[in-house]
A and B are shown apart, each in its own frame.
Chain A
Amino acid sequence: MSETTEHSQTESSTPKLILPDIPGFKNIETYLKHGGYGDRLKKVFSMTPVAVTDEVKKSNLRGRGGAAFPTGLKWSFMPKDNARKRYLLINGDESEPGSFKDRQIFEFNPHQIIEGMLIASYAMQVDHAYLYIRGEYAYWYRLMEKAVADAYAKGFIGEKMKEMFPASGDGVSYSVDITLHKGAGAYIVGEESALMNSLEGGRGYPRVKPPFPANVGLWGQPTTINNVETIANVPIIMEMGGEAFSKIGEPKHPGTLLLGLSGHVNRPGVYELPSGTLLTDVIYKYGGGVPGNKKIKMVIPGGSSMPPLRGDSLEGVKMDAESLKLVGSSIGTGGIMVMDEDTDIIHVLTRIAKFYWHESCGQCTPCREGTGWLLKVLRRIDQGQGAPSDIDLLHDVAQNIEGRTICALGEAAAWPVKFTVQRFREEFEKKVSTNNVPSSPNRVHSLRVGGLEPVQVHVPIVVRV
């Protein structure tokens, strides 16, 4: 798709691989005119499936769903034998607060998602591919429905693929069906094994791993789960070659990233920028800075579950998985939330804690109980009833959730609290007072409202001090 990479309006313009600056790109005709489907797929289907996976490996593409796992490697985990059915499941649940990038792909470049799904399906010889979209995105679900119907009508999906792309020589022609599936409001369903349970028609409970989905996935069969943005990168990789792709942005996490900028910024929105772009550039150069020219107190760089950064430590921080790891955070979904100097960090953190408490599926004790405890303690600090000892208590509760749960929602809930306590301790100290004495021997459950009888409950888990 050379048109998209060559586009250069201003000197600051960077490659737009996922959200190109082309009017009407969402329409199949425009998409075809710019090199989508047709010849590109023909080329892909003339390669061996292993060669396609190798190309993706070469690109060093890493997942955009949160964990930045190498995509080609993930694909290669699928068993090679033909005995069982295989599935591809694309994760469009996008519910992590601060993330709204997959939505733009649904709206502005739906066919690249479909084409990416076709290529991935071929590479793993998938029998059926599903695209799960969160229920709140009903409007975008309909846009995708239309895109899928258009692609079916043109013969790019389903049985007709066999006529469209006849096998050469003694090869077998390939075809795959794509089905859209609508969620119904549950953040936890974004976790890949919960996603499978939800698609199968159950409650969105995460599964214990191992076994991993590549072995035991949807209906017990080999399954690969990828994020929407991840899969939308695949046609570009096949177009430009894995090696060329691997040279865009930061070598260890190459390509462009869709960074969702929100909070206290003048120009919020989704910016497609090469990985490794300076966080301060995203906020100031692209996002137009903070309203009222205020200072920044805190930035969450990758969706609400990622460790927050202090406003005075943003200099030189780059937006890619490895660079953010170095400064003690994570790229997550690339949803950047900016908070100015007047922000009440405790209030924000309390809201985040409420979210994770609300979304915990309740299977694991540390997560089910711990998210509630975090919320309780944070609420009383937020309401001016916190004691100084509550600060360490928060840290301890968070510490006791981490690593003790079935899925990573435990960490998602613990990290923001733990790292906010570590990095913004002064904010907590401003809000607590030695006058607030726990009214109950159970430190977590103390409601600390004047006149209440102390409640005699004992925490079954030892909280380390």
Chain B
Amino acid sequence: MFNQEELQEIETLRKRYPEAKAMVLPMLWRVQEKQGWIDDAGMEAVAMVCDVPKSHVWGVVSFYTMFFDKPMGRYHVQVCTNVSCMLNGGEKLYAEMKSKLGIGHRERTVDGTFSLEEVECMGACGGAPMIAVNETFFERVTSAEASDVIDSIRSSNTIPAPKHIVQMPELSPAANE
């Protein structure tokens, strides 16, 4: 699962914690970054590195919503429908995404390009409504813009740059960049 270089990094990381078990989350992140989801072999490798039973690792994977126990799309589309987003049309946005992608909550498209998730508050409430693709947040998105993001990914195979949203309206533009 891990190559020589990665094992070296793991050794370094190990020094940051008094117990190896604390590396369960960081290790699971590594596995997921490598292969997009956490398979049985991944869980086994993490269990070995962290000196914990495999059942413990499975317990952790199943507890946290961001760990995938099945293959997801290369582009994981998240739509927030929590209060601030809902007040600004988050539910409609989610419904539109469902029909545009033809998939539901935590499902993925047949070609493996997209997966979809209705998520809880992402901490972007000032930019509601919002969607996120993998780690990129798109805030104050209209239906058309959200749809364009998907089309753009389909045609270019990259995530477009999000538009700039002023986070702190009181401060000067330069401090806001």
Contact = CB atoms under 8 A, between A and B. Distances in A.
A184 interface: yes
B60 interface: yes
Contacts of A9: 172
Contacts of A199: 22
A94 B121 CA distance: 10
A86 to B, nearest CB: 12
Contact of B171 (A16, A198, A262, A358): A16
A184 B29 contact: yes
Contacts of A347: 86
11 contacts: A9-B172, A135-B66, A183-B25, A184-B66, A200-B22, A201-B50, A201-B52, A202-B21, A271-B168, A272-B170, A348-B86
Contacts of A393: none
Contacts of A182: 25-26, 29
Interface in A20-45: 20-25
Contacts of A348: 83, 86-87
B157 interface: no
Contacts of A198: 25
A185 B167 CA distance: 23
Nearest to B125: A262
Interface string B153-177: 0000000000000111111101101
A376 to B, nearest CB: 19
A202 B62 CA distance: 11
A71 to B, nearest CB: 23
Interface of A: 9, 13, 16, 19-25, 85, 94-100, 102-104, 107-108, 128, 134-139, 177, 179, 181-187, 198-204, 219, 260-264, 267-272, 286, 300, 304, 335, 337, 339, 343, 347-348, 351-352, 355, 358-359
Contact of B127 (A102, A200, A268, A343): A268
Closest 9 CB pairs of A and B: A185-B66, A184-B64, A201-B24, A23-B174, A185-B65, A262-B125, A201-B21, A97-B121, A262-B84
A135 B65 CA distance: 10
B121 to A, nearest CB: 4
B143 interface: no
A335 B125 contact: yes
Interface in B120-172: 120-128, 132, 135-137, 166-172
B16 A99 contact: no
B167 A202 contact: no
B169 A271 contact: yes
Given A99-B125, A337-B87, A351 B82 contact: yes
Nearest to B80: A97
Nearest to A189: B64
A107 B167 contact: yes
B77 interface: no
B10 to A, nearest CB: 14
A202 B87 contact: no
Interface residues of B, number: 53
Interface in B17-44: 17-19, 21-26, 28-29
Contacts of B17: 179
A277 B24 CA distance: 43
Contacts of A270: 126, 167-168
Contact of B82 (A16, A139, A355): A355
B175 A23 contact: yes
Given A139-B136, A179-B16, A186-B64, A268 B174 contact: no
A268 B88 CA distance: 11
B106 to A, nearest CB: 12
Given A97-B84, A359-B120, A271 B170 contact: yes
A263 B170 contact: no
A21 B122 contact: no
B81 interface: yes
B22 A337 contact: no
Contact of B18 (A13, A135, A219, A268): A219
Interface-central residue, A25, A187, A202, A348, by most chain B CB under 10 Å: A202
B171 A177 contact: no
A336 B133 CA distance: 26
B70 interface: no
Interface-central residue, B24, B137, B168, by most chain A CB under 10 Å: B168
A177 B18 CA distance: 13
Contacts of B87: 262-264, 337, 339, 343, 348
B131 to A, nearest CB: 13
B83 A25 contact: no
A274 B121 CA distance: 26
Interface in B83-107: 83-84, 86-88
B148 to A, nearest CB: 21
Given A139-B136, A186-B63, A201-B19, A260 B126 contact: yes
